[in-house]
Structure 1
């Protein structure tokens, strides 16, 4: 009897801080794709910005607090432990080695990142390791560049079942029902101004931020 291949995904981000928009999207992606495990992977270095700086380890701790006991979501610190520059293709290679050749491996990205796909490191290698699932916002339209159309080519599939026929190499645009318009920038701004962030992020994350004084220093 053939065993059903495991389905796993990775969703990277700065998560600075993790909020309900990130977490609800992760949950809806996992449900839509039928993933056994979705690795939420904090990037080592968020874009440069003014004080306060919250360390990568602290962002990881907030992510763990935010996920809590949610089934199928996993706070994965591997990119924080890696020496030198950290590229998605390296993470996918590690996950592919861990899950095996027949696993259905998916990299989940936002639509804005998808539009920049031709500029990515080793993008052809990416497709040899995993599928690409793009979180599309309902009603959001943006034109694809010629380079992006050429890169995607015949890879795009119509649905999850078609995507999961193979271990890697497909592209699926996936509309999520919620897609909360919550911004980490907005949350950091409210914290600097001493304003409430209740209901923008999980209570455990809010409590940790307020207790530690994260994002609240003003230059």
Structure 2
């Protein structure tokens, strides 16, 4: 059975932290691929700052250079709020030959008790947790911890930098930076 990592998020914008997490977990867990699944409307956050199509394009540009990374638009296609349980049930039905590993940062590990039907979710997929600055991986849920290099960046921080015209070189992949500039995203 092929092992597939799932990295969900808003990816507004995608950055090297996302890519590093995906690659380190892929290698540590022997995953065949990591699927990036951008959400249409995150259940635990405010709306994205860019459109779904812009976020998909940025994510494709960010992941194109890695043959083990794929962009899956299942949540964008459904529109509205997407819950991980719904997404994973559909993926398990569509791909019965794959074993899924949902990758989350320590900030989301702390938030797990608030997830929609979290106990049911844990009965159908495996979770992988990675450390994030300012958060612990303490939880009552069975999570496999993968140790990765710590990079303390977030999309929120990068949007602020972009609005203030601060350089995001070496933090956001060059093709994504070009796309942001060409399309005047985030106040550029």
TM-score computed with the length of structure 2 as normaliser: 0.89
On the 8 A contact 1:137/1:175 being kept in 2, the answer is no
Unaligned runs of 5+ in 2: none
Deviations 1:170-200 (CA, angstroms, capped at 9, x unpaired): x212211x23212212211121112221111
Return 70-79 or 81-90, whichever deviates more: 81-90
Matches within 5 A, 1:36-115: 36-45=32-41, 47-48=45-46, 53-100=49-96, 103-115=98-110
Q: How many corresponding residue pairs?
A: 186
CA 1:202–1:141 in 2, change beyond 3 Å: closer, same or farther? closer
Moved over 4 A (4+): none
On the 8 A contact 1:191/1:216 being kept in 2, the answer is yes
Q: Report the Cα distance in structure 2 between the residues aligned to 1:130 and 1:182, rounded to whole angstroms.
A: 27
| SS of alignment partner, residue 108 of structure 1 | strand
On the 8 A contact 1:66/1:202 being kept in 2, the answer is yes
The CA deviation at 1:135 is 1.0
Across the aligned residues of Structure 1 and Structure 2, the Cα RMSD in angstroms comes to 2.1
On the 8 A contact 2:131/2:137 being kept in 1, the answer is no
Q: Report the Cα distance in structure 2 between the residues aligned to 1:187 and 1:30, rounded to whole angstroms.
A: 25
On the 8 A contact 1:6/1:99 being kept in 2, the answer is no
Deviations 1:31-87 (CA, angstroms, capped at 9, x unpaired): 1111112111111125337xx931111011100000013021111111011044310
CA 1:206–1:13 in 2, change beyond 3 Å: closer, same or farther? same
CA 1:6–1:143 in 2, change beyond 3 Å: closer, same or farther? closer
Q: Report the Cα distance in structure 2 between the residues aligned to 1:22 and 1:28, rounded to whole angstroms.
A: 10
Choose 1 or 2 for highest CA Rg.
Answer: 1
1:142 aligns with 2:114: no
Aligned equivalent of 2:144, options 172, 190, 210: 172
| SS of alignment partner, residue 117 of structure 1 | helix
1:133 aligns with 2:133: no
